[in-house]
C-alpha cells in the first residue's frame, strides 16, 4: 500500500506551482505589452473581442480536457484579459503623453495612508510602475488647490459609489476649477469593522467613520444601536483615532488593506449594504492629455440648458444625431440661481473624434453654458462573455462570428419599418398603446412588500385591504395600469387581477419563469417578459403563439440588435400584439443601478414600428424621474413605468404626471 504524501509535502508542491504560475503570468503580461507596441504602429484598437471569444472558447475546451470547469476557466481568463487591456492602455497613454512620464508622481488624495482614496491612488501608480509621493488632504477643495498650485501632479477625487451613488460635493468643486480630468480608476470597497487586535465586539461603544461608509453600511449599523457614531474627514482619520484610544471601546469603518497599515484587526467584514461595492475615482491635473485613437475614451462635460421645455432633450438628441453614447447624466443646482441646474455628462467618445467635435459645436448653440472637463482613457473593461452553447460545445462546433449589423438593418424583418412603415398599436382593455397619448403604468414589487410578510403570518385580510388601498391611490393619481413583479402565489392571481380591473386598471404580470406562463396568461391583461428571459428562445416562441399582448423587456446586457432579434422570434409566431420595454442597461460604474439608454429610444423609433415604453424606476432616483419622463415624451416614447414605493411617493408624481398629458 502506497503511503500518501504528508500535508507539508503537498503544501510545498502547491507553493512551487504558485511560484511558477506567477512567473508565467508576468511573462504573459510582458508579451501583452509587445502586442501594445504592435498596435501602436498599426493603429489598431486595444480590444479585439472577436479574438477574445475565440481564445476563451479554445481555452474552455483545453481546460475540459484537463478536468477543469468551463466557468472557472472563463472567470480566470476574464481577469487576465482585463489586466492585459488595462496595462496596454496605460502603456499607449504614456507613449502619447511623454511629458507626463516621470519616475515619481506627487498625488493629492483625501485623508491619509489607509484611506480608500490612498488605495485608489496607489493602484493607479502601481499600474504605471511609478513611485507615489503621497499628499494627504482634509477636503476636496484642498485636493484641488494642491494640484492647481503645483504642489501635486495629480489629484484623486471619488466621484461615485455603487451603494451610496454620486458624491455631490465633488461635482460642485468641478464647476469652478481649471483642472482637467485625465484619468479614472475603480476599486472594490470592502468595509470592515477595524479594531485593536485584542478587542471583542461586545466591547465596542464608539465607531468612527467617514459619512460615506456610514451611509453604505447603514443596514449593519442598524443592527447595533449601541454604537455611537462619530464622523471623520476620512477613513484614515477614523483608523488613527482607534490607534490613539486608551482602550478597546472604539472601532473604525475602513478596508482591511488600509487597516493593516495601522496594525488594526478586521473584526467584522462585509459591512456594506450591497455585496458589490465599488467606488470610481477621477484623476485631475493641470494639463489636459491626448488619448490615442486605439483606446476607449470618455469625455466629461458640464452644461446649463436654456429655460424652455425640452431643452435637455434637444441636447441629448444632438449627441444621438452624431451617434454618441452618453453613459452618465447627473444634475446639480447652480449656486445663486434658484430652480436652475447644471448637467454633468459622460460621453463615450474621444474629444478628437470629428463626431464629438461636431456635437460640441451644436451643443454650444443649444446651451447657455458648456465646458469640457476632460477627455481620458476609459478603464471600465467589460468582460468578454461566452454563450451557454459556447460553454458546452467544442470551439469547432461554435459559431462566434456575429451577424453584421448592416445585414440586420436592411432585412425586412417583422420588427422593421421595411416590413411595416406605420407605427403599430396594441389594444388592451380600453387603452391603446402606441397611439399619440402617453400611457403610464405603476410598478409594484410584491416580494418586497411588508404586507406580504404580514400575510404569511396569517393576516391575509390585512394584506388585501392594504393592496386595495394602494390600488385606489394609483388610480386617483392617473395611472392606467399596474405591473406586478416578484413571486406571486397562483391562488392570489385572481384576486389581484379582479381588484385591478374593478379599479379600471390594466393588470400586467411579470413572467420570470416559463413554468408560470399558463397561470399568468389566464389571469393577466398584459404579460411582461422579464429582461432576464429575453434570450429564452423557447419561451419567446411560446409567447408568439398566444393572442395575449406581450411586453418584451430588454436584457440589461443586450444591445439593440439582440433585443430586436428577440422581438422577431416572438412576432414570427404570429402574435402581433408586442410592446418593447427598455428598463436600462448595465452600468459598470454602478453595477446595482441600471443606466437609462435614451439614445436607444431614438434608434428604436427609427428602425421599428413597435410601440415602446420606458421604465426608469430601476435606473434613476426619484428626483430625476420628472426629467426622465419629460424626455420620454419629447422623444415620442409611448409609455412610462414609475415605481410605487409608498402612497406618499405618488404625491411627488401627481403634479408633473398630469402636466405631461396637457
pLDDT tens-digit series, residues 368-426: 889 999 999 988 777 777 766 666 654 444 444 554 444 444 445 888 888 888 888 89
* More reliable by pLDDT, 580 or 589: 580
Average pLDDT on 247-257 reads: 91
* More reliable by pLDDT, 247 or 638: 247
In the chain, the percentage of residues whose pLDDT exceeds 70 is: 85
Element (H, E) at 203: none
Please return the burial class of 515, using the count of CB atoms within 10 Å of its CB with bins 0-12, 13-18 and 19+: exposed
Quote the CA–CA distance of 420 and 423 in Å, as a whole number.
8
> pLDDT at position 452, please?
42
Quote the CA–CA distance of 292 and 335 in Å, as a whole number.
37
> pLDDT at position 458, please?
42
* More reliable by pLDDT, 594 or 590: 594
Q: pLDDT-based confidence at 657, cuts 50/70/90?
A: low
Average pLDDT on 100-121 reads: 87
pLDDT at 20 over 90: yes
> pLDDT at position 174, please?
87
> pLDDT at position 318, please?
87
| Alpha-carbon distances, residue 450 vs 410, 445, 453, 462, 549 (angstroms) | 50, 11, 5, 11, 31
Average pLDDT on 565-580 reads: 91
Average pLDDT on 247-254 reads: 93
Phi then psi for residue 433, to 5 deg, are: -95, 120
> DSSP characters for 582-650?
E--B--TTSTTS-B--HHHHHHHHHHB-S-EEE-GGGTS-HHHHHHHHHHHHHTT-SEEEEE---HHHH
Phi then psi for residue 324, to 5 deg, are: -115, 140
pLDDT at 514 over 90: no
Out of 73-77, 332-336, 457-461, 517-521, pick the least confident. Answer: 457-461
pLDDT tens-digit series, residues 456-481: 434 444 466 788 888 888 888 778 89
> pLDDT at position 413, please?
83
Q: Which residues of 109-142 are buried (b: 16+ CB within 10 A; e: fewer)?
A: bbbbbbbbbbbbbbebbebbebebebbbbeebee
> pLDDT at position 460, please?
46
* More reliable by pLDDT, 171 or 580: 580
pLDDT at 560 over 50: yes
Average pLDDT on 522-545 reads: 88
> pLDDT at position 644, please?
72
Out of 6-10, 133-137, 292-296, 584-588, pick the least confident. Answer: 584-588
pLDDT tens-digit series, residues 273-293: 877 778 899 999 999 999 998
Q: pLDDT-based confidence at 434, cuts 50/70/90?
A: confident
Sheet holding 192-195, edge to edge: 228-231, 206-209, 250-254, 192-195, 265-269
> pLDDT at position 638, please?
79
pLDDT tens-digit series, residues 128-170: 888 999 899 989 999 999 999 999 999 999 988 776 677 888 8
Return the ∠ at Cα 292 (arms to 288 and 297), rounded to 5°: 75
pTM of the model: 0.59
Closest CA to 484 of 445, 513, 540, 455: 445
Quote the CA–CA distance of 352 and 315 in Å, as a whole number.
20
> pLDDT at position 155, please?
95
> pLDDT at position 161, please?
78
Amino acid at each position: 500500500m502506497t503511503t500518501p504524501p504528508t500535508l507539508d509535502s503537498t503544501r510545498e508542491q502547491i507553493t512551487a506551482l504558485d511560484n511558477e504560475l506567477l512567473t508565467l503570468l508576468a511573462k504573459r503580461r510582458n508579451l501583452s505589452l509587445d502586442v501594445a507596441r504592435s498596435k501602436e504602429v498599426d493603429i489598431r484598437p486595444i480590444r479585439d473581442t472577436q479574438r477574445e471569444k475565440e481564445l476563451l472558447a479554445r481555452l474552455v475546451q483545453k481546460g475540459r480536457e484537463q478536468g477543469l470547469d468551463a466557468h472557472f476557466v472563463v472567470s480566470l481568463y476574464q481577469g487576465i484579459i482585463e489586466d492585459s487591456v488595462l496595462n496596454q492602455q496605460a502603456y499607449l497613454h504614456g507613449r502619447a503623453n511623454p511629458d507626463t512620464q516621470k519616475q515619481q508622481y506627487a498625488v493629492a488624495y483625501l485623508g491619509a495612508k489607509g484611506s480608500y482614496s490612498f488605495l485608489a491612488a496607489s493602484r493607479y501608480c502601481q499600474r504605471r510602475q511609478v513611485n507615489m509621493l503621497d499628499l494627504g488632504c482634509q477636503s476636496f477643495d484642498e485636493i484641488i488647490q494642491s494640484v492647481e498650485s503645483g504642489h501635486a501632479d495629480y489629484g484623486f477625487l471619488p466621484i461615485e459609489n455603487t451603494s451610496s451613488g454620486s458624491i455631490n460635493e465633488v461635482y460642485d468643486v468641478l464647476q469652478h476649477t481649471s483642472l482637467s480630468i485625465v484619468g479614472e480608476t475603480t476599486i472594490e470597497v470592502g468595509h470592515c469593522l477595524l479594531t485593536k487586535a485584542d478587542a471583542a465586539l461586545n466591547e465596542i461603544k464608539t465607531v468612527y467613520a467617514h459619512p460615506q461608509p456610514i451611509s453604505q453600511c447603514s443596514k449593519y449599523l442598524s443592527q447595533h444601536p449601541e454604537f455611537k457614531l462619530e464622523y471623520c474627514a476620512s477613513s484614515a482619520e477614523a483608523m488613527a483615532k482607534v490607534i490613539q484610544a486608551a482602550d478597546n471601546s472604539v472601532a473604525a469603518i475602513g478596508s482591511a488593506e488600509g487597516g493593516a497599515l495601522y496594525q488594526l484587526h478586521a473584526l467584522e467584514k462585509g459591512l456594506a449594504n450591497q455585496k458589490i461595492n465599488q467606488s470610481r475615482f477621477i484623476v485631475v491635473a493641470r494639463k489636459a492629455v491626448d488619448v490615442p485613437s486605439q483606446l476607449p475614451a470618455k469625455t466629461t462635460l458640464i452644461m446649463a440648458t436654456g429655460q424652455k421645455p425640452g431643452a435637455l432633450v434637444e441636447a441629448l438628441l444632438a449627441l444621438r444625431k452624431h451617434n454618441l453614447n452618453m453613459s452618465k447624466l447627473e444634475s446639480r443646482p447652480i449656486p445663486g440661481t434658484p430652480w436652475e441646474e447644471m448637467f454633468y455628462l459622460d460621453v463615450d467618445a474621444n474629444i478628437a473624434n470629428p463626431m464629438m467635435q461636431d456635437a460640441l459645436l451644436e451643443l454650444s448653440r443649444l446651451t447657455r453654458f458648456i465646458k469640457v472637463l476632460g477627455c481620458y482613457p476609459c478603464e471600465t473593461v467589460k468582460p468578454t462573455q461566452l454563450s451557454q452553447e459556447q460553454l458546452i460545445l467544442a470551439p469547432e462546433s461554435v459559431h462566434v462570428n456575429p451577424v453584421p449589423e448592416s445585414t440586420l438593418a436592411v432585412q425586412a424583418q417583422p420588427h422593421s419599418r421595411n416590413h411595416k412603415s406605420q407605427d403599430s398599436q396594441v389594444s388592451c382593455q380600453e387603452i391603446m398603446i402606441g397611439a399619440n397619448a402617453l400611457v403610464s403604468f405603476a410598478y409594484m414589487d410584491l416580494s418586497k412588500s411588508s404586507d406580504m410578510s404580514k400575510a404569511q403570518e396569517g393576516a391575509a385580510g390585512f394584506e388585501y385591504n392594504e393592496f386595495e388601498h394602494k390600488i385606489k391611490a394609483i388610480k386617483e393619481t392617473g395611472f392606467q395600469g399596474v405591473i406586478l413583479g416578484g413571486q406571486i402565489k397562483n391562488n392570489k392571481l385572481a384576486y389581484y387581477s379582479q381588484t385591478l380591473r374593478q379599479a379600471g386598471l390594466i393588470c400586467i404580470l411579470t413572467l420570470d419563469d416559463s413554468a408560470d406562463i399558463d397561470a399568468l396568461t389566464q389571469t393577466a391583461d398584459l404579460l411582461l417578459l422579464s429582461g432576464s428571459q429575453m434570450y429564452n428562445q423557447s419561451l419567446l416562441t411560446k409567447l408568439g403563439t398566444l393572442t395575449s399582448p406581450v411586453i418584451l423587456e430588454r436584457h440589461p446586457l443586450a444591445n439593440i440588435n439582440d433585443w430586436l432579434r428577440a422581438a422577431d422570434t416572438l412576432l414570427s409566431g404570429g402574435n402581433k400584439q408586442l410592446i418593447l420595454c427598455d428598463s436600462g442597461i448595465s452600468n459598470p460604474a454602478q453595477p446595482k443601478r441600471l443606466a437609462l439608454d435614451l439614445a436607444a429610444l431614438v434608434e428604436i423609433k427609427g428602425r421599428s414600428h413597435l410601440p415602446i415604453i420606458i421604465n426608469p424606476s430601476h435606473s434613476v432616483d426619484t428626483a430625476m424621474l420628472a426629467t426622465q419622463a419629460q424626455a420620454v415624451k419629447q422623444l415620442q416614447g409611448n409609455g412610462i413605468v414609475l415605481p410605487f414605493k409608498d402612497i406618499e411617493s405618488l404625491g411627488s408624481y401627481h403634479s408633473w404626471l398630469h402636466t405631461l398629458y396637457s
